[in-house]
Structure 1
Amino acid sequence: MLSDRQITSRRLLLVAAGMSLLGAAAGCRSPWSGGGEVAAEAGVDESALPVAPPAPGALPATPPPAPSAAAPSVVPVHKVLTAAEAKPVYELDAERRVVALTIDDGPDPRHTPTVLALLQQYGIRATFFLIGENAVEHPALVREIADHGHHIANHTWTHPDLRHMSDAKVRDELERTSDLLHKTTGRLPTWFRAPGGDWSDASLKVAADLGMRNMAWSVDPRDWARPGTSVITDRILKDVRPGAIVLNHDGGGDRSQTVAALKTYLPVLIDSGYFFTAPPN
């Protein structure tokens, strides 16, 4: 059994190894470049590297806040996507020991702050897919997520099944959410996730029109069903692999099991040599 000092040393070595990989990968593309179901060959940047956790009992360092704007005065310009970029991404480069952690259905004042503190403890950047009607009720929490350096993404306004909606209603769900997140954080969302992973032709077109790529997942512990902390943990550790995109939830109900599972499996993945990545802001 490893002592706390040995575990901390091992995590420090992982960070050092990651920095070496960063130098070796200079000039390579991000894990989020390319298109289709598998992202293109990835380089690992600093945002993908976990920082060493503080010594036992020490308070985690607070990162410098990222600038956020309450009301951008300029009209945003959406990125023009290629046909390949408009397809959902299900996993990253399997040749690199990188995992993307995604958190859906927030923000939630009960669970999101705990998730943020946990991610800060381990130096992990995640992608938060926010629901518009939750974000409008908790703008300070949206800004806190952004100020911690996490990626803010669009998860519709009301979390509907997009497959049964008109093109106009789909556009309202996505555009309204992107506008709110932009006004709240100063960042225009560049990624979208359809509720339930149920994309439609309309949602793919609207997302592309709004300059958003589509992120799916490859590891789903079904934590939303509250099957138990140990079940959530076991499913993730069983199914995770290099290049995996992991789905978790911080909103939509009681997510205490998800939070407890995160506390268990994150250090296990770090000690197994995994790094965490999120799209650049």
Structure 2
Amino acid sequence: MRLHPWPLSIAVATVVLAGITAAKAADCPRQDALGTARVLSVDPKIYPRVGLKSFPQTLPLADHEVVLTFDDGPRPPHTQKVLAALAHECVRATFFLVGRSSAESPGLVKRIAAEGHTVAHHTWSHPMSSKISFEHAKKDIDRGIAADEMALRGASTTTPSTPFFRFPYFDSTPATLDFLQSRGIAVFGADLWASDWEDITPEEELKKVTERLEVAKKGIILLHDAQARTAAMMPAFLRYLHHNGYHVVHIVPAVTEKSANTH
């Protein structure tokens, strides 16, 4: 496949597009936008653990389909820049939020949801689960969920409205995995990542993630909206996806009888 070298000079949209509620590119106000190709409902009973870097199974994605996921937010001003880039391309993503950060920036959590993205969970304090006791790990998971829900809905609850979770550093234990599965919460790993936790430039990050995607051809992509380099890279990466035939899939929780009765 011939790659298009999209430069990082493509500007981040300075104004978030208002009223973007449709998932498909055809419904996007900007004709040349990447758009969101389809919505995939994920049932934790069917997909309790996904992401080939950690687990044997991943989401049922076709060739050249990607799921964009962001960890460690919300963190101003980088999260706002990521949201602007996504809005400019009419793309929806999933944000795995750190509860402590959600408590500090509840308005930003609400904005993530209001712009059509999925709010998921990433603990309260970002610990390595294998380095702390099981009881401590459970409390940190639940405190994080409660903080995210408080920021999002104004109610502190350990029952997540979106039962999606990712372990910091992908560092799970058999006990914490079983704990989340027993709660009906899907655990997300990733199929590839941008290595944006490394001390690299936005250009180097773009090169890493696109080269890995050309090998994998599809998958759940891990990024970090808390990183300035990722915020700077996103416009060029989204353009790359568009001009190389990739399609964005937005993941949402499956509607079950239980969840339908709680709304």
State the TM bucket, normalised to the shorter chain: 0.7 to 0.9
Contact 1:99 1:243 in 2 (8 A): yes
Matched, 1:196 2:172: no
Question: TM-score of the superposition, structure 2-length normalised?
Answer: 0.72
1:49–1:276 Cα contact (<8 Å) kept: no
Change (3 A) 1:160 1:256: same
After superposition, the Cα gap between the structure-2 partners of 1:131 and 1:138, relative to the gap in structure 1 and judged at 3 Å, is same
Aligned partner of residue 119 in structure 2, secondary structure: strand
Alignment CA distance shift 1:87-1:50 (3 Å): farther
Q: Which has the higher strand share?
A: 2
1:165 to 117, 127, 132: 132
Shift of 1:182: 2.3
Higher relative contact order (CA 8 A, sep 6+): 2
Letter in 2 for 1:227: I
Farther-moved stretch of structure 1 (157-166 vs 197-206): 197-206
Give 5+ residue unaligned stretches, structure 1.
3-45, 61-78
Per-residue deviation, residues 101-153 of structure 1 (Å, max 9, x unmatched): 11110100111111111101001111101001111111111111011111111
Identify the residue that residue 85 of structure 1 maps to in structure 2. 47
Q: Calculate percent identity across the aligned residue pairs.
A: 27
CA contact (8 A) 2:163 2:184 kept: yes
3-state SS of paired residue (1:196): helix
| CA distance, structure 2, for counterparts of residue 106 and residue 189 of structure 1 | 16
Whether 1:54 aligns to 2:30 is: yes
1:273 paired residue number = 245
**1:16-53 Cα distance to aligned partner (Å, 9 max, x none):** xxxxxxxxxxxxxxxxxxxxxxxxxxxxxx74758656
Distance 1:264 1:80 in 2: 32
**Does the 8 A contact of 2:98 with 2:123 survive in 1?**
yes
Pairing 1:79-228 to 2, within 5 Å after superposition = 81-82=44-45, 85-90=47-52, 91-93=58-60, 95-186=62-153, 188-228=161-201
**Secondary structure at the counterpart of residue 280 of structure 1:** strand
Counterpart contact for 1:133–1:157, Cα < 8 Å:
yes
CA contact (8 A) 1:170 1:202 kept: no
Structure 2 gaps, min length 5: 5-21, 34-41, 53-57, 154-159, 254-263
Distance in 2 (alpha carbons) for counterparts of 1:80 and 1:250: 25
Q: Report the count of equivalent residues.
A: 212
1:42-81 residue CA offsets vs partner (Å, 9 max, x unmatched): xxxx74758656379xxx9xxxxxxxxxxxxxxxxxx995
